[in-house]
Amino acid sequence: MNLALVPQLKHTNSNNFFLLSGPCAIEGEDMAMRIAEHIVEVTNKLKIPYIFKGSFKKANRSRIDSFTGIGDEKALKILKKVSENFEVPTITDIHEISDAQLAAEYVDVLQIPAFLVRQTDLVVAAAETGKVVNLKKGQFMSPESMKHAVTKVTDNDNEQVLITERGTMFGYQDMIVDFRGVPTMKQYAPVVLDVTHSLQQPNQSSGVTGGRPALIGTMAKAGIAAGVDGLFMETHFDPANAKSDGANMLDLSLLENLLTQLVELRAVVNTF
């Protein structure tokens, strides 16, 4: 994938990893703008290519009473406004075939959730929009099997595809990342490590997913050392009160220090 082809993506010649980051879900315009402004300031300072992430709806919640969104078009218009105001590309996940064309009118990258990455019609619909497609590796899939998911995109005349590692189920309530999969999947497409979702503890009896955010730095550093092309990190200025995935998000105030360390580590890795 040629990152330079992603609209508005800056610093593509910096030899840094690229970053997909933002809140789990779009909760409103003010929160999205506040988070985007902070991340854009930090990534410009560190010359990190940056894509703002926010889900326009959450269709894969554990409980029926969980927050799912503020309205599809309302959230998508906020994503569009973030892109226009801060001159950065945006990414959102889609869950149904009809979502592909709708979301493509507002964002630059379409993300296929891990639970849905084997849904051929959904992947093809995303590919046919001509947008960049980010395929999240299923928690139940091997690195080798992601070759076929990538082929579903490229066989539809779209070479703009990413693979995101987000951990494999380890028992019922934990995730583990097998970093041996990074070089395997890099044979098929650029590889992103989803740092925060890899630290989830799903299927809790309460119906609310847990997480281990204290390990975000450790996981991110391991990903850079393993040679990932990009990092995915969800962040919020008040994770404890976020409406989705707060248990495994990075506190926004900690982002700059962590990214500074990761840029320094990447510079070392680039010397090998």
pLDDT band at 3, cuts 50/70/90?
Answer: confident
pTM of the model: 0.93
The CA distance from 122 to 143, in Å, is 20
Residue 83 tokens, joined: 């892109």
Higher pLDDT pick, 207 / 213: 213
- pLDDT score for 61: 63
Angle between helices 255-269 and 216-226 (to 10 degrees): 20
What is the pLDDT, as a whole number, of residue 29?
A: 97
Strands 168-169 and 210-211: unpaired
Angle at 250 between CA 135 and CA 26, to 5 degrees: 60
| Candidate from 3-17, 112-126, 176-190, 201-215 with smallest mean pLDDT | 201-215
> Which stretches within the chain are classed as H helix?
29-46, 72-86, 97-104, 120-128, 146-154, 181-185, 216-226, 255-269
**Average pLDDT of the segment spanning 171-192:** 94
HSE, side-chain direction, 13 A CA sphere, residue 27? 20
Q: What is the DSSP letter of 64?
A: T
